[in-house]
A and B are shown apart, each in its own frame.
Chain A
Amino acid sequence: MKQNIKKLGYFLFAIFIVLIFYLTYLTFQKGEELATHPQNRRLAAKEAGIIRGTIYDRQGVKLAETRWSGQAGQRVYYTVGEVSPFAQIIGYVSERYGSSGLEAAYSKELLGLTEADAVKNLLDKILSRTPRGNDLVLTLDATLQSKALALLGNRRGAVVALDPRTGAILAMVSAPAFNSNAIKDDKVWQQLNQDTDNAPLLNRATQGAYPPGSVLKLVTGTAILANQAEAPNNINCPGYVIIDGNKITDNQVHGQVDFIKALAVSCNTYFAQEGVKLGWPNLLRTFEQFGLNQKADLEIPVRAGTFAEKERRNKSQLAETSFGQGDTLLSPLQMALACAAIANEGIIMKPYLVKELRNPEGEVIRVTESTPWLTATTPEIAQLITQGMVAAVEWGTGTAAAIKGIKVAGKTGTAETKNEQDQSSAPHAWFVGFAPADNPQVVVAVIVEKGGSGSRVAAPIAREVMAAALYGQ
């Protein structure tokens, strides 16, 4: 019987060893997954005990701050009246709905949970201080942003303003915005989510998918100049062009048109004919050089541009794509970056929203260096396109964007939105431009959804934004 008891003992030890092994497996193999599982409230509870860092604009205006009441913090966002101009860009952070925008992208930094913060966190724990996260300083300008939002009024649309020399984004507005401070209210949150017509949570500036219309002619123009020794300078525009048996009507009869005039008066005939001559591969290569098919790395959600699918790439689709219609869908950010390439001698600087990261003591711990992103074209071609854009503002379609005493370069766009379901749909009003034309400091892209013509609706907004950016007001 002693032998049996011994064997039983070995068995009991064996099952305890199994427990130890399984526990070790849980800790080392599954531990990370379990600890960071979204349903595991430990991480959220940890966050609740940290004072989230403040987000400043480039001038030091507080765009988001946590007001600490000893036990819990309340996140307060910059608002003008009842709306937050930065609603979709800065986003929100909420225990119930998670987080979005820069709040989500910079969660670790704002909470001070990066590896660099480990020592400070340990000290906080020992001294039982409430830990405080790092601060963000954005490239955005609260005044410019508010102004751009006000200019859009109650229309849907977006405005992007950036510095072409650095890639720093100065304003990024998506209208309608919402009140970021009010989403705590369940009803408001539901309303925001159910409003599919206005989609207030969508950041139209980076995620909007719009036909670019004539503003794309900047890119098509670059393609034409890049593939031919000299752009054709005597094309006759009878007010329409027939491609593959389809008649494409132009906005008016332009008569004899050269390259500069084609851009200035936005002649569809010129670009349709020349685009067809270029062919799909050349045109798409230029699109790629402008980064239209990719997502700029902006840390907030960005949409890549889309063009006609391979099987739909016929001649008439090519003609329409050349002047920004057809299946082409791009975001305002992409058009702003394309315009920035023209403004910055063909180089697109990597766009960025966060200028620097500061620790709670106010010391700068990380600065974003501006770096070139893409080489879209040559300085010579950029110069020619600029001439066309200056002409557009001086005597062409974009005169409404002219600023007294400053040479402005711009391009209007009126993108058709008519389709089988909606024959009377108003066009999107577009404008992209930069100023001063000979020393560009600011690039602006404006879209007003179904707002009408670019020259009447979008150009005046762009003028105000450019002026505000240059003069500070």
Chain B
Amino acid sequence: MLVNLRKEERSLLYYITAFLAVGVLVLYLGQPEFNTAYELALSSGYKLPFWWFVVLLSIGTMTAFWLVSVYWRVAGFKCDPYLMPITASLTALGLIFLFRLRPQYAERQFAWLLLGLLALVMVTTLLRKMDWLADYKYIYVAAGVILLVLPIFFGREQYGARSWLDLGILQIQPSEFVKLLLVTFLASFLAENRRVLSTGNDQILGISIPGIREYGPLVVMWGISLLILVFQKDLGTALIYFCTFLAMVYAATARMFYVFVGMLLFFFGGTVAYHIFSHVQARVDIWLNPWAYISDKGYQIVQSLFAIGSGGLFGSGLGQGLPGLIPAVHTDFIFSAIVEELGLLGGCAVLVLYMCFIFRGLMIALSCRDDFSALLATGFTALMGLQTFIIIAGVIKLLPMTGVTLPFISYGGSSLVANFVLLGLLLNISHEVNGGNETEY
């Protein structure tokens, strides 16, 4: 059983290696400039042929994933065999598009990927038994709030959001890590209090209304989201936090009351923010009619729509489109580039990959034996799903654009590392579910 899981995982990794190789080959055939020299961005002055650079990075990526799988086998890790290959395929797709769009970022992304995989290995080694995590929930709140507050005082503003911390050689976005703390805290809080929260005192119109003390967490969470919105101007992160919170509360209590009140609070907060903050107002105005702002603030979303519209069913072909016309295409708008070059079918394939991730994540949650683990797995999966939905809905103009990364695909160091930590925690739960901890000790 133990051997089979990892074997399954590795055989999937071979398919992904083939996928990456085909992608790189297509790029090579389509772009004659692939033979020019490329100067490494991270170690200045060192040059190598661009083609070698791409091949080395691709081999490096797949080897790194493969080594992780081999290490797990040696270490007797019994996690789900599908989640890691799914993230590997998303990462590979991201790398192909970064090679094509911004090679310097592919290089950085590769470095971050190695860091992320290291974090994955560490998490899956050190945190295999996770039940003790539930005991320190208030430390997470404290740590989370500090991490969130830091950028407000010491942060740097980028792309209109003040959510970066500049550490000299690298910049990190603490909110990416805070979301992990948030889910962990909520899982332990809800696991402890879910019975109290799910029994109402009175009923109005068939919906049970809880007592006043039960509003507490809701209001606190709403407050934290608004805090991010106001001080960091980070609309997307605020939205993700709040939606994840609602999803977890619903999973724990099954009470639509929280969802309804939560949404009411959200719309109230959103309306107030729309009237007070110009950046929120701009986002909504652009969403309602980007064509009126085509030359300035609506330029990006209009370019994104042009890219998607020009793609058609099969896309223009890898390397044959012009996704470079979209500003920030390598981060927030990478999905538009994928749809332009790989078409509607390519875009749907990416969506299906994320759906597979959600499916596996929730299957882990469903097989958990304790509430804390189940809620933790649910929270992480919902977080991943909601973030993906929010950014993709934003770039296709289904929702206002909020500016978050597309997990595992977009360029973004903090996001990539945080997502691998998230994957590690999810896999730890899976390991627990598969009885990994019982046989070992």
Q: Which residues of A contact B (CB under 8 A)?
A: 1-9, 12-13, 15-16, 18-20, 22-24, 26-27, 30-35, 37, 39-42, 45, 128
Closest to A125 in B: B320
Given contacts A19-B396, A23-B339, A30-B309, contact A2 B366 (CB under 8 A): yes
Contacts of B310 in A (CB 8 A): 31, 34-35, 40, 42
Q: For the complex, what is the distance from the CA of A464 to the CA of B245, rounded to whole Å?
A: 88
**Residues of chain A contacted by B321 (CB below 8 angstroms):** 42
Q: Is the CB of B306 within 8 A of A20?
A: no
Contact A8 B382 (CB under 8 A): yes
Determine whether the beta carbon of A27 is less than 8 Å from that of B311.
Answer: yes
Q: How far is the CB of B207 from chain A (nearest CB, A)?
A: 16
Please name the residue on chain B nearest to A22 by beta carbon.
B398
Residue of B nearest to A15 (CB): B389
- B302 near A39: Cβ-Cβ < 8 Å: yes
B 258-285 binary contact with A (CB < 8 Å = 1; else 0): 0000000000000000000000000000
Contact yes or no, A37 B311, CB < 8 A: no
Note all chain B residues with C-beta closer than 8 A to A3: 254
* B323 and chain A: residue at smallest CB distance: A42
Listed by A's residue number, 19 A-B pairs whose Cβ atoms lie within 8 Å are A1-B371, A8-B251, A8-B362, A8-B382, A9-B359, A9-B362, A13-B355, A18-B398, A19-B389, A19-B392, A19-B398, A23-B347, A27-B308, A31-B312, A34-B308, A34-B309, A35-B310, A35-B312, A39-B294
B69 at the interface (CB under 8 A from A): no
Interchain CA distance A42-B359 in the complex, whole Å: 38
- Among A13, A27, A45, the residue within 8 A (CB) of B309 is A27
Known: A19-B398, A42-B310. A24 touches B344 (CB 8 A): yes
Contact A8 B378, CB 8 Å, known A1-B371, A23-B348: yes
Asked if B306 and A37 make an inter-chain contact with CB atoms under 8 angstroms apart, the answer reads: yes
Of the residues B32, B306, B343, contact of A34 by C-beta under 8 Å: B306
Min CB distance, A123 to chain B, in Å?
Answer: 15
A5 & B374 in contact (Cβ 8 Å cutoff): yes
Is the beta-carbon distance between B322 and A26 smaller than 8 angstroms? Answer: no
Chain B residue nearest to A10 (CB atoms) is B362
B67 within 8 A of A: no
Q: Which residue of A lies closest to B367 (CB)?
A: A2
Known: A1-B251, A27-B313, A35-B306. 5 other contacts (CB 8 A): A1-B254, A15-B389, A18-B398, A31-B309, A35-B310
| A27, closest chain B residue (CB) | B344
- Assembly CA distance A3 to B371 (angstroms): 13
A128 and B31 CA atoms in complex are apart in Å by 10
Closest residue of chain B to A3, judged by CB? Answer: B254
> Given contacts A2-B366, A22-B398, A23-B347, is CB(A41)–CB(B309) below 8 Å?
no
Which positions 318-374 of chain B face chain A at CB distance < 8 Å?
321-322, 325, 339, 343-344, 347-348, 351, 354-355, 358-359, 362, 365-366, 371, 374
Question: Looking across the interface, which residue of chain B has its beta carbon closest to that of A37?
Answer: B306
Report B64 CB to chain A, min CB distance, Å: 29
> What separation, in Å, do the CA atoms of A34 and B305 have in the docked complex?
7
Q: Does B21 contact A (CB under 8 A)?
A: no
Dominant secondary structure of chain A at its interface with chain B: helix
Please, what's the 1-or-0 string for B79-112, where 1 marks a CB less than 8 Å from any CB in chain A? 0000000000000000000000000000000000
B239 in contact (CB, < 8 A) = no
- B119 interface hit (Cβ, 8 Å): no
Do A12 and B385 touch across chains, with their CB atoms under 8 A apart?
A: yes
With both beta carbons as reference points, the residue of chain A lying nearest to B254 in the complex is identified as: A4
Any A CB within 8 A of the CB of B393: yes
Give the 8 A-B CB pairs with smallest separation, nearest first: A34-B309, A40-B306, A35-B310, A12-B385, A27-B344, A9-B362, A4-B254, A4-B251
Instruction: Write the chain B residue with the least CB distance to A34.
Output: B309
**A9: chain B residues within 8 A (beta carbon):** 358-359, 362
B247: interface (CB < 8 Å): yes
Query: What's the Cα separation between A5 and B376 when bound, in Å?
Result: 11
Rounded to whole Å, the gap between the CB of B101 and the closest CB of chain A is: 16
How many Å from the CB of B195 to the closest CB on chain A? 11
A6 to B393, CA, bound (A): 23
Q: Which residues of A contact B311 (CB under 8 A)?
A: 27, 31
Is B252's CB within 8 Å of the partner chain A? yes
B312 touches A27 (CB 8 A): yes
A37–B305 Cα distance when bound, in Å, is 11
Q: Is A19 a contact of B312 with CB atoms below 8 Å? A: no
Shortest beta-carbon distance from B299 to chain A in Å: 9
* Chain B residues whose CB sits within 8 angstroms of the CB of A39 once the complex forms: 294, 302, 306
- What is the CA–CA distance of A400 and B393 in the complex, to the nearest angstrom? 76
Q: Does B38 contact A (CB under 8 A)?
A: no
A24–B389 alpha-carbon span in the complex (Å): 16
* Alpha-carbon separation in the docked complex, A37 to B322 (Å): 15
Q: How far is the CB of A191 from chain B (nearest CB, A)?
A: 26
Residue interface bits B181-217, CB-to-A below 8 A is 1, else 0: 0000000000000100000000000000000000000
Known contacts A1-B252, A2-B366, A31-B312; is-contact A23 B355 (Cβ 8 Å): no
Q: Among A3, A23, A32, which residue has the most Cβ atoms of chain B within 10 A?
A: A23
Partner of B308, one of A6, A13, A15, A26: A26
Chain A residues contacting B250 (CB-CB under 8 Å) are 4, 7-8
